[in-house]
Amino acid sequence: MTKRFIIILAVLLLCGFRAPNGNIISKGDLADKLIVNMGEPHLRTDLGMIQTRAFGGIVYIRREIWFYRIDDYNYRFLIENGQIVADHWSRF
């Protein structure tokens, strides 16, 4: 029973990125959550608009990459239409 609880707890803790103030930010959250918990990004790169088919028509999606630097870590978030799609961190 305790092994199962520890495994479930570990999976829940590793499912998202923890901001410096302790809040968990995960894929699917709105980009506003990043701004509230981490402030404005150090660099925003606009990837432009891409088109995709949805609901019988063409939908345009705005893509951006937001970069943060906290201590020795670099964080990169891919934002599509104001929603976090992917995140990546590196040491250098």
pLDDT tens-digit map of 15-33: 666 776 667 777 888 888 8
Q: Where are the domains of the chain?
A: 2-90
Q: Give the dihedral sign, CA 52/54/56/59.
A: negative
> Which residues, 6 or more positions from 29, have their beta carbon under 8 angstroms from its beta carbon?
83, 84
Q: Which two tokens stand for residue 11?
A: 């999976």
Q: Which amino acid is at 63?
A: R
**pTM greater than 0.75:** no
For the domain covering 2-90, report its CATH number.
3.30.1450
Angle CA 83–86–87, to nearest 5: 115
CB atoms within 10 A of CB 73: 11
Residues 33 and 48: their CA atoms lie apart, in Å, by: 22
pLDDT tens-digit map of 37-88: 888 999 999 999 988 888 888 889 999 999 998 888 898 999 999 899 988 8
